[in-house]
Amino acid sequence: MNNSNQAPQAPQAPEVTEQEYNVLADTFGIAVPEAPEVNAPSIASSAMLGELKISCWTGRKKDRAASVSVTNQNNADNGTASVNKKLLGNCDELTAIQKFVANARNIHYSMTMPWSDLGLRLLPTAQYFKYHQQMTDLQNEFELMVDTFCNNYTWEVSRAQARIGSLFHADEYPSEDSIRSKFAFNISYIPLPDAGDFRVDVGNDQREVLESHYNDYYSKQLQAAMGDVWQRTYKALSNMSERLDYSGDAKKKVFRDSLVENVLDMVELLNVCNVSGDSQMSAMALNLEDALRGVTPDGLRNNETFRAETKRVVDDAIKSLPSLDQ
């Protein structure tokens, strides 16, 4: 049944794709609205992404026959024992390289902040020259150590026959020509994209969705990076406070000169790593710089009043730190 009082429906306009709209806009001089501005803070000019990739031959291999032998000798279930042998036995040169690699990674971590699970770390622009120089020096030293090891590799393999006895099997060793490829030290730098900088042809609606997702990711990663700096600050200050605690029945604690140096280094890091311009972080760095000016290890050891006052300042700084998951 028709309702004569019902207003006639306007014909529905045909859908126009973004590409078609842009053509019409160019033809008739229509201004195309720009994408909405991104609200997430941008640190693209104050930081970059750094990646350190180091490969190092482990010199270890599982010996299946030895694993079975140990299992049977002890009347254990199959798969209970696993024998991983050092192919070169106790090789000082290889051990030195492995320790060097661990130290290089620690330096990399100490000079950067977490960013992604893919190995990329946030590197403040203010830290770049110091970081690059240190990493380059480490890379050169690594190459020299590896060259020395590779030059002596054939001799080390021959010595391994005596070192590991019946566990030696010649076919388990990389060839002299291929051993060098087991080592690598590479540093990469990647510009940090602006938050929401999506230049893909997916339509305005989907681009806004992508920008929203990235803004959320960007903010969370930045928060995690800043949180890492606060965690390091807490650790350095807490250690200093604990070492200076002579009160009550607490025994006088021995501390190294590096106790003060570590905290001063942390203050420098607060300034360098404040890529987001956090006012609380800036204030913390300034206050600690003023409070620790003139503080020396010997002064802390020999002057009880000076030590107690320094501990009070450090404890106050700890209390003023933002809430952390400790």
Give the tens place of pLDDT for each residue, 69-118: 888 889 888 888 898 999 999 999 999 999 999 999 999 999 999 998 78
pLDDT band at residue 48, thresholds of 50, 70 and 90? very high
* pTM of the predicted model as reported, rounded to 2 decimal places: 0.75
**Amino acid making up residue 81:** A
Domain boundaries, the chain: 47-191, 222-319
Give the tens place of pLDDT for each residue, 123-164: 999 999 999 999 999 999 999 999 999 999 999 999 999 999
Indicate whether 4 pLDDT > 80.
no
Could you tell me which of 247, 75, 63, 253 has the C-alpha nearest to residue 171?
A: 63
Say which range, 59-63, 164-168, 254-258, has the weakest mean pLDDT. Answer: 254-258
Give the tens place of pLDDT for each residue, 189-243: 999 876 555 555 556 666 677 777 778 888 888 999 999 999 999 999 999 998 8
Taking only Cα atoms into account, the Rg of the chain, rounded to an integer number of angstroms, comes to 31
Q: What DSSP letter does each residue of 180-233 carry, written as one string?
A: GGG-EEEEEEEEPPPTT-----S-HHHHHHHHHHHHHHHHHHHHHHHHHHHHHH
d(CA 280, CA 259): 24
